[in-house]
Structure 1
């Protein structure tokens, strides 16, 4: 028992050191840019640094037991240098994997954010047509000829999605729908269904499931230990700036307690694929 306690203390100490190094690095990088930046740029740099620091602070609190995965507040508010940052944690197996989710589940999720049932079905089929390898058109879907007829700037890839932002290229998708769908989707669960025990409140509501007993849990013993973290400022003046990460937790490896799977920059309203 004592050996286990010593091991736990050692991991905590390593994490404190790691977090301090990360936060100091963020701060030093920010200072380097602040010396030549305009006032507006300075405020943006401070904000981005605060979001990144809030993510790492949350990870430390999660590993050190200060946050209980079974009942974490959503969002969790972190105070970083006078900036209030809202941090949302979610397990990827509680989301819909865009490359594996069944058509039935996908349609139900889209219907929750698109009021027109026919539009929701069209978009669902178009997404499935985008990711499948053939040129066969689903009943309400879209393949190359439909994109050309609509003078769309992109053509269906006929392969799995590489990045969630690629969803914005699908015929029928728009920014408003994408921003509502994005928090419900992932590329990292590898499942055709959604783990209801790991699903957040918005996903449970989208699937039409009972939310009376929802307790804020985002991870359970059966979860895949891959989590999504979204950090955004509470201030309405800073709306539109956020940081999204997907990480694989490896708590038994003190040298690398997590691995980056994806990192989305600070301005999600500007498509990451623009110009690609």
Structure 2
């Protein structure tokens, strides 16, 4: 009897030992998994930070190249890619002079209508959209043929009326009646509020801008950009595109959109999309940021 009880106690003790060992194994495993996860998260965060600062380095390199006094080696701001390596990362910088874009506050009605029509929007509907844009920014309360003023906005359920003042930013366009987000995303690369020009400088115009010009097809725009980006001499003449439109590399502005993308060896990257205006500021920097957007990716 005593022997049986002793065997039972030993069996219970063995089971307890096994359960404790299993529990310790689980705890040790969870600690190991937690440490591995934290290490992985730290590595990802470090790489994100590194890529972002390298992308900022690309933006500053772009400013340096734009200030290059030698026109023969100065980077051309027509959207072409400029590639270089820094600290093991591949950095691609694209610069677009804002004088090549359509200024929402200054552009002609013809150019704005052409921009919407280039999306395949019916011509009459495109005219209506432009009428609403013009009513949004003009100071009067007179309604254009297909335009919209305060009462039209409130009747349509908007919480705001027409601004009756110039656009301060391009995204403000989404607030205009009839301009949905999908349409905005398609035309946003063509627009600016910083050029102050009624027309566009073809030397720096993106594809979306070229397509807004009457008679210019997608094939013509692509061919023009290909020929333009083959030019290395800023004194060279541009290819012929359309009557009434011209441009030259030496005739740009002082405001530039810069996209800087830094890709690490593990393919993790960060991309900065900023608009800068050349000229010093109170902090002693050679440029001023007027728009900034960045995204980090794995």
Query: TM-score band (shorter)?
Result: 0.5 to 0.7
- 1:56 maps to 2:60: yes
- 1:117 maps to 2:145: no
Residues 113 and 182 (structure 1), Cα distance of their counterparts in 2 relative to 1, 3 Å cut: same
Distance in 2 of aligned mates of 1:178 and 1:239: 26
- 1:245 maps to 2:275: yes
Q: Is the 8 A contact 1:248 1:258 kept in 2?
A: yes
Residues 63 and 40 (structure 1), Cα distance of their counterparts in 2 relative to 1, 3 Å cut: same
Higher mean C-alpha displacement, 141-150 vs 41-50:
41-50
Paired residue secondary structure (2:277): strand
Larger Rg: 2
1:29-44 to 2 correspondences below 5 Å = 44=48
| Residue equivalent to 2:287 | 259
The C-alpha deviation readout for 1:61-85, integer Å capped at 9, x for no partner, is 3434695445877233454555544
Paired residue secondary structure (2:118): helix
Corresponding pairs, count: 228
Residues 90 and 149 (structure 1), Cα distance of their counterparts in 2 relative to 1, 3 Å cut: same
Shift of 1:128: 1.0
Segments of 5+ residues of structure 2 without an aligned counterpart are: 1-40, 232-246
Q: Is the 8 A contact 1:94 1:200 kept in 2?
A: yes
| Residue equivalent to 1:25 | none
Shift of 1:244: 1.7
Residues 160 and 49 (structure 1), Cα distance of their counterparts in 2 relative to 1, 3 Å cut: same
| Residue equivalent to 2:106 | 100
TM, length-normalised to structure 2: 0.62
| Residue equivalent to 1:199 | 205
Q: Is the 8 A contact 1:246 1:261 kept in 2?
A: yes
